[in-house]
Amino acid sequence: MDKDFENFKEFVKTYSQSTQKLYLHYLTQFFSFVKKSSQDVEAVDAMRYLNFLREQKNYSDNSIASVRRVLSAYFGKHVGKDIMAKIPIKRTKHLPVILTREEVKRLIDAADTEKEKLVIEFLYSTGVRVSEAVAIERQQIDKKRGLLRIRGKGDKDRYTVIPLDWLRRYSQVWKKKKQRYLFAKKNNKPYGVLAFERIVRRAAEKARLRKRVTPHTLRHSFATHLLEMGENIRKIQKLLGHSSLATTQIYVSVSTKEIAKTPSLLEGLSCSFRNCVLRKLGKGRRSDRASRAKG
Pick among 1.20.120.450, 3.40.50.1370, 3.20.20.70, 1.10.150.130: CATH of 3-86: 1.10.150.130
Q: Which amino acid appears at position 259 of this protein?
A: I
pLDDT at residue 46 is higher than 70: yes
Cα 71 to Cα 134, 190, 209, 273: the distances in Å are 23, 25, 32, 59
pLDDT for residue 273 is more than 50: no
Neighbouring CB atoms inside 10 A of 23's CB total: 20
- The catalytic residue among 49, 117, 219, 225 is 219
Q: What is the pLDDT of residues 172-194, one digit of tens each?
A: 998 777 889 999 988 889 999 99
> Phi/psi at 110 (nearest 5 deg)?
-85, -5
Q: Which of 138, 158, 216, 280 is catalytic?
A: 216
For the chain, domain boundaries:
3-86, 101-254, 262-294
pLDDT tens sequence across 61-101? 778 888 988 898 888 888 888 888 878 776 656 678 899 99
Q: What is the mean pLDDT of the chain?
A: 83
Instruction: Specify whether the CB–CB gap between 123 and 215 falls below 8 A.
Output: yes
Helices 193-206 + 114-126 axis angle, to 10:
100
pLDDT at 33: 93
Residue 290 scores a pLDDT above 60: no
Active-site annotation holder among 117, 124, 129, 220? 129
Closest residue by Cα to residue 78 from 2, 11, 32, 1: 11
What per-residue string of b and e applies to 169-189 under the rule 16 or more CB within 10 Å gives b? ebeeebeeeeeebbbbeeeee
Residue 129 appears among annotated catalytic residues: yes
251 is catalytic: yes
6-42 pLDDT per residue, tens: 777 777 777 777 788 888 899 999 999 999 988 899 8
Give percent above pLDDT 70 in the chain.
83
Average pLDDT, integer, range 196-203 = 96
Separation of alpha carbons 90 and 95, rounded Å: 16
Is 216 an active-site residue? yes
219 catalytic per annotation: yes
Q: 1 exposed, middle or buried (CB, 10 Å; 0-12, 13-18, 19+)?
A: exposed
Q: Which CATH class is domain 101-254?
A: mainly alpha
Residue 295 binned pLDDT confidence (cut-offs 50, 70, 90):
low
Would the pLDDT of 270 be above 60? no
- Tell me the whole-structure pTM to 2 decimals: 0.61
